[in-house]
């Protein structure tokens, strides 16, 4: 029968127990450190997310500023509804534009359009391409449509002599003598006026030097 010396085994059991406590404390310390690192990491992540939100907000703000700048640039750019020639500039550089204020006067080199109301009774005498009026951009126009032809007696405006409310012309009669003739005038056509009464076709009318003439004065006829 063998003998066991128990007094020599007790120190080994205490050493093992001591080692277990140290390892447990080390694990706890590591766990505590890991939790602290996790907290710091989460805090850093939150800070980064907050900074990211700030950056995204600045990006959106910058985009909004770019959009506003583009709108402002659009206000600073004049776009005409058609190609044309600038006839008049009514504002200076730096002037603030306002609704209803005319900035430029443009002329369309391609031609003009006059909108006119035509009686139905006159439509039959009109055709596409008829020349009706001379126009400039922006003016009030009155269109005249030829609806027929008639014979009219016309004399130059320079041949008319007004005395009071009456109008006269000098007619060259036989023996090249000027005779004052009372006439009745009608519509004007450019530099000529229609004679409704007082003259007949073939009459020779004086057109120059009327201020030096008198009834019965001799005149010289220049054939052209």
pLDDT at residue 172 above 70?
yes
CA dihedral 197, 202, 207, 208 (to 10 degrees): -140
Specify the pLDDT at position 83.
78
* Nearest to 170, CA basis, from 129, 133, 198: 198
State the DSSP string of 30-85. HHHHHHHHHHHHHHHHHHHHHHHHHHHHHHHHHHHHHHHHHHHHHHH----SS--E
Distances (CA, A) of 119 to 130, 140, 147, 178: 17, 19, 12, 47
- CB hemisphere CA count around 110 (13 angstroms): 4
Encoded tokens for 127:
């055709």
4 pLDDT higher than 50? no
Q: What pLDDT was estimated at residue 59?
A: 92
Q: How many angstroms separate the CA atoms of 144 and 126, rounded?
A: 11
For the chain, the first-to-last Cα distance in angstroms comes to 175
pLDDT tens string 10-60: 454 555 555 577 887 888 888 888 888 888 888 889 888 988 999 999 999
Domain residue spans of the chain? 10-75, 79-91+102-149, 154-212
Contact 159, 169 (CB under 8 A): yes
CATH number of 154-212: 2.40.420.20
Query: Is-above-0.85 flag for pTM?
Result: no
From start to end of the chain, where are the E strands? 85-89, 104-107, 154-156, 161-163, 166-173, 177-189, 192-197
d(CA 32, CA 26) in angstroms, rounded, equals 10
Percent of the chain with pLDDT over 90: 3
Average pLDDT for residues 103-120, to the nearest whole number?
72
């Amino acid at each position: 029968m063998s003998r066991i010396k128990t007094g020599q085994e007790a120190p080994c059991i205490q050493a093992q127990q001591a080692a277990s406590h140290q390892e447990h404390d080390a694990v706890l310390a590591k766990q505590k450190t890991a939790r602290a690192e996790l907290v710091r990491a989460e805090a850093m992540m939150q800070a980064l997310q907050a900074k990211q939100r700030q950056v995204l907000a600045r990006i959106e703000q910058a985009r909004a500023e770019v959009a506003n700048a583009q709108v402002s640039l659009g206000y600073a750019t004049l776009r005409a509804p058609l190609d044309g020639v600038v006839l008049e500039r009514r504002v200076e550089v730096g002037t603030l534009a306002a609704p209803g204020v005319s900035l430029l006067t443009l002329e369309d080199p391609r031609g003009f359009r006059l909108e006119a109301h035509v009686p139905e009774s006159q439509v039959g005498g009109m055709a596409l391409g008829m020349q009706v009026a001379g126009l400039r951009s922006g003016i009030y126009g009155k269109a005249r449509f030829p609806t027929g032809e008639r014979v009219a007696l016309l004399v130059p405006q320079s041949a008319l002599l007004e005395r009071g409310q009456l109008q006269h012309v000098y007619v060259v009669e036989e023996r090249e003598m000027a005779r004052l003739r009372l006439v009745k005038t009608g519509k004007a056509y450019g530099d000529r006026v229609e004679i409704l009464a007082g003259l007949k076709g073939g009459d020779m009318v004086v057109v120059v030097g009327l201020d030096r003439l008198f009834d019965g004065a001799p005149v010289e006829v220049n054939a052209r």
